[in-house]
Structures are given as C-alpha cells and as structure tokens.
Amino acid sequence: MKEKSNLENLKKNYQKIQKKYDLPSFDDLNKDFQIEKVAEIETDFLIREIRKFLADKFSNYLRFVEAILNPVNAPMFIFSIIKSIGIKEKKKLTNIYGQLSKTEIRLIELDINFEEEKEADFVKESYKMWQEIKKDVLDVLDVMKNNLGNKVEVNGKGYFG
C-alpha cells in the first residue's frame, strides 16, 4: 500500500483538532499562514506548531508597522513610505499595531504555559482578527503603492527632508 504523504497526514490530524475546537478550515489557515509547512515538523502538539506560524506572520507585520509609526533606526525606504501615507492610513496602522501588540503579549503567555485549548482559542480568534485587519493592511499598502515617490524629496545631505 502507498504510504500517505506528510501533508495528507497533517490534514488528517488537523481535521481532528478542527472538529474538537471549531477551528477554521485547513485551506483557509494555509492560505493566510502557510501552515502546510508544519508537515515537515514531527510533533505531538500540532496546534502549538500551527500557532507558531501565525505568530511569525504577526510578528513580522508588527515590526513593519512599528517601523512606519516609530522609525527609529528604520531603513531609508521606510521614510519614503511614511511620506506616502496620510493621517487616515496612520490611524489604521495605529489600530493594527494595537491589535498586533496585544497578540504578541498573548503569544508570550502561550509560549510559557502550553494548554491545548488556549492554543486553539488563539488560532481561532487570531484568524478572525487577521481577516479584519488584512483589509486595512491592503488599503494602506494600496495608498503606499500609489503615492510612493510622489512626495519624497531628497536634499543634498543624504537624508529625507
């Protein structure tokens, strides 16, 4: 008999915890968080590994938004991005930052104290949150793309003025 692939096994194992905790579908989570990569990891705690993929994505977006809102030691391109957005976009980013910051604190707690049910709650709630904030992220990115380069002026001293 043909042995099942790691991905097929992952989907089968995910289905069990999905039903138990009423989690989003594997495909939905995979589209947004690339959880299929968990198939490469051998674990007794599948939900924790899935949560780690959500955590990575949230941490990356948190750092990006933080660099825009507080550009201390930020790469040069961040300054041109800042000049390409308005007050409306900065308010959206501030809201996103707040949500992602709360999520980051919750992630630390989950890392310290593993409980399957809390991990599942985090995955479920974070997926819902991401569906809401990704719309705002896309709106802000659209403004950035459309305005990037329009307002940026470089003076002769090598920094943005």
Q: What is the pLDDT of residues 61-117, one digit of tens each?
A: 999 999 999 998 888 888 888 888 999 999 999 999 999 999 999 999 999 999 999
**What are the residue ranges of helices labelled H in the chain?**
6-21, 26-33, 46-69, 76-84, 87-112, 116-147
Q: What is the pLDDT of residues 110-138, one digit of tens each?
A: 999 999 999 999 999 999 999 999 999 99
Report the SS3 class of residue 154: strand
